Amino acid sequence: MGRHSADILDRDAPPQHAVEATTVPAGTGAAGDAAISTVTDALVLRGLTKTFRSGPFGRGRTHTAVDRLDLSVPTGSIHAILGPNGAGKTTTVSMVATLLRPDAGEILIDGVDAVADPSAVRGLIGMSGQYAAVDGNLSGFENLRMVAQLYGLSRREASTRAQEMIDELSLTAAADRPMRTYSGGMRRRLDLAGAIINRPRLVILDEPTTGLDPRGRRQIWQAIKELTLAGTTILLTTQYLEEADELADDVTVVYDGAVHARGTPESLKRDFGDAALTVEVTRSAAVRHAPDVMTTLADIGTGHPEQLDDLRFRVRVGGGTRSVVSAVRSLREIDVDVVDASVTEPTLESVFLTLTEPVATGPDTEGTDDVR
């Protein structure tokens, strides 16, 4: 699978960070990628657009939830869509799952046109969130057997398939218990089992681990990784940056319905995630020179410095150890003794915050339902 640098797209009204970063004109980055995609891509989105109208009878103002989104996901890879609340993630995956009709654009799943022929692709996709609550009084096994029968398997085939799923998702010990007695993590695994029971080519996971404890989350991660070993492609939305970091081959950061940046977690961190420099100074220096320390760090860093406590100051920096050396040297020149200085590596979280800050608190649009 091709690894590439993070791209940031120059949209019509780019947020502040898009202007500062290396830009790729719209239509040559993501759209270009999509244009050269072949059928080796399990999923291709081209110019995907969805506009909602709010207010009674849909007569209110319009809101473009997904705006000309381009995306291609190579077969067998995991692609994460990240974005702040209201960025358009669920709307996007709902369109891919054929639950919502796009206003414009193309969705190709294994080369099949999902907009023109939704029923033709439904057998190719599985989506989480649909199966966990089929019937709480039935056992996990019985629930899965029922789902398999709904996919057209005979009772015998469905039993075999349900048992395979139970074993694969580590639910063997609880297989015969009523599902209402399952923990949140077990329900989520059962739901995942339901999403993959028909061996879909593309599995869509909308926030698959939200609300799970760390152990439950790790179990789901493991199950997701195993799926890709079998060649399944995963499209994932998540609010957990560490989840994207742990799982995703590629990440698309969406912002106000449009692709704002994309790349591997590593390339995004390298290109958009500033490291943080923390310096600790002596107490006398802190008392006498705190404003000068802030000014010096502002010169060295790439953001606004902050004072963490009486003695420690922090600022975002571009260059790793070089910034430590220049901080110590510059502070010494103004008679500030540094007790400790260190640089922490960028995280995907810092990338996310940097890229989505301007809209993180934007208003949401309430409105009409448009689910098929």
Site residues, ligand ATP (CB under 6 A): 52, 54, 63, 65, 83, 85-91, 364-365, 367-370
Closest distance to ligand ATP from the beta carbon of 93 (Å): 8
Six-digit token pair at 196? Answer: 């993959």
Mark out the alpha helices in the chain (DSSP H runs).
16-20, 30-35, 89-96, 118-122, 140-150, 155-168, 184-196, 214-229, 241-247, 265-272, 283-300, 320-333, 348-356
CB nearer to ligand ATP: pick between 40 and 85: 85
348 in Cβ contact with 309 (< 8 Å): no
CB nearer to ligand ATP: pick between 179 and 203 = 203
In the bound state with ligand ATP, the residue whose beta carbon lies nearer, of 182 and 240, is 240
Least gap, CB of 66 to ligand ATP (angstroms) = 7
Nearer to ligand ATP, 85 or 344 (CB): 85
118 or 367: CB nearest ligand ATP: 367
CB-nearer residue toward ligand ATP: 98 or 323 = 98
Report the residue closest to ligand ATP, judged by CB.
Answer: 367
Tokens representing residue 35 in the block? 């244009």
Nearest distance, CB of residue 252 and ligand ATP, angstroms: 12
* Residue indicated by tokens 């969130």: 129
Please report how close the Cβ of residue 154 comes to ligand ATP at its closest, in angstroms. 38
Q: Which is nearer to ligand ATP, 84 or 301 (CB)?
A: 84
Distance of CA 310 to the CA centre of its chain: 37
CB 16 within 8 A of CB 30: no
- What distances in angstroms separate CA 107 from CA 34, 43, 103, 113, 119, one per listed residue? 11, 7, 12, 6, 13
Q: How far is the CB of 86 from ligand ATP (least distance, A)?
A: 4
Residue type, 324: V
Name the minimum Å distance from CB 30 to ligand ATP. Answer: 17
Residue 109, classed as helix, strand or coil, is strand
Nearest approach, Cβ of residue 206 and ligand ATP (Å): 8
- CA 183 – CA 161 distance, rounded (Å): 23
